[in-house]
Structure 1
Amino acid sequence: MRVEDCTVSVERRSLQACVDLAIVFVRETAEPILRLWLLCAVPACVLVWLLTSVLTDMLIPSILIFLFFSAVFNSLLVAAIGPRVFGEEFSVRGALRAFRRRFWAWLLWTSIVRFFQFLSGFCLFFPGLFVTAYTAYLPELLFLEQAPLKAVQPRLTWLAGSGGYGRSLNSLAWLMSAWAAASGGLFLLLDLTSSTVLNRPIFLQILMEGSVEFADLLLQLTHDDPWFLTVLQLCLWMPLPVIRTAVFFCYLDRRIRAECWDLQVLFRAEAVRVAELSG
């Protein structure tokens, strides 16, 4: 990974610029990203549907399913778009090979991170956002930098230093809010479409026409209803490619700021210009 091979402009970007670049990148590489997305999203949704159809109280298991498969997708996406940004071909097979090579390191670190993210969801004094802000760039370290197992934690700490953690926290807070808003909007849209086209309400109409207590009905939907949990799972997956690609470009921005990549490029360009003039 060399700075001069970077196919996107090496400059310091705001969060909005990272999101804009992520949208453009996902649009230009939609077909291979869709293949990676299908590899992870379809099994997750099918598994939620099958388990919810035969078991009860499936809200927490469905969250765990999403945490696992989304971690796989995040890693595959980084393993694919990282080389592409640095001048290589976007390869789904290459991403799968890279994932297999680093599977055990990924499994160890992802298990630790997901455990604390899941645990922090139940602890108001230790919210998951703070854990995520520190570990957001774990796939980049494993699959782009190829960091050894023992070097991952020092690299995470280094990226969090010199104001990096604050920037990551602000970026992740905004991205997760946008993700929640997009997922919620998609869920309501699918609920409305299912109610009007298929005559199969998923959420709002059931709540409005329910004959039992609102709290009991809401609890039943969110814990036991296969349609509700599967559609919710799908809606969480749909914005994820853009959100995770934006996180990747936030990582690049962090590296550019911390290691002055933009200045390196300027110095090299100036050196070339001086050499041409003197020649």
Structure 2
Amino acid sequence: MKSTVLLLCVLLLAPAAEAATVVPHRALYDLRLLRAEDGSSLQSASGRLAFEIEGSSCEGYTVSFRMATKYRPKEGEVTLIDTQTTTFEGPGALDFRHQLKEKVDGAAREDLRIRMTRAAVEKEGKGTLSSKPGETFTVPAGAALPMQHQLRLMSLGEAGGGRDSSIVFDGSDEGKSFRAISFVGREKPPGAVARDVANPVAATLKALGSWPITVSYFPLEGEAETPEYQVSFDMYANGVATGLVLDYGEFALSGTLTDLKLLAPSSCP
């Protein structure tokens, strides 16, 4: 299972994206099982997802993510998967650092650090993995980093919505990049998302417009007809996401916003 910040992290610069901005914030979501296929062995799932973003386009973005989920199979014991990541995306999307720590039932399963740099966005990037010292991997020329991709989609929303196809590197699968096919709907006016109007936690969002967004991640190699995973959400004009759906194929989780704090803005001019 891939780390899904997507987007979040999500959740997250090309010249066309400079008009879009993401405010520093900390958001907490309650997770529950939304759907499980008939052939799935999963009976229920629940957990929490915490997401924090600080910084700006001029100083770089730091994104912290933690997702702790209990999976209860139809047979057998409950499994708790606790995934934590910290990512820094430098100004201009030229420098990328990613640290992943994951535990299963309290026992460490993965501790990985990734570093990628490139001379320009249109140039190939070179990266290293702490798990493979002395080896390097290549990020395709023009690949978008998470925040760069998020801002691109927000700019597409500001332009009226549409479809975007981008190569994305987010560190969720070591040195692997993905083809992200995204659909951004037309802007919803303030107060149009009934779910958030009824949620007091989302009060600071009521004066903002939002866009419905769906992002599907495909492998670069081959001609897969179905994505490896898919995320959908409503993205507000300040970069806060609500109504999360994390779809892993055999099952899907939904995320409900339960806490939101806007943090101090960047000191950049």
TM-score, normalising length from structure 2?
A: 0.30
Q: Answer 1 or 2: higher relative contact order, Cα 8 Å, separation at least 6.
A: 1
Q: Which structure has the bigger radius of gyration? A: 1
Q: Higher strand share goes to which structure?
A: 2
Identify the structure with the greater helix proportion: 1
Under a length normalisation based on structure 1, what TM-score does the superposition of the two structures give?
Answer: 0.29
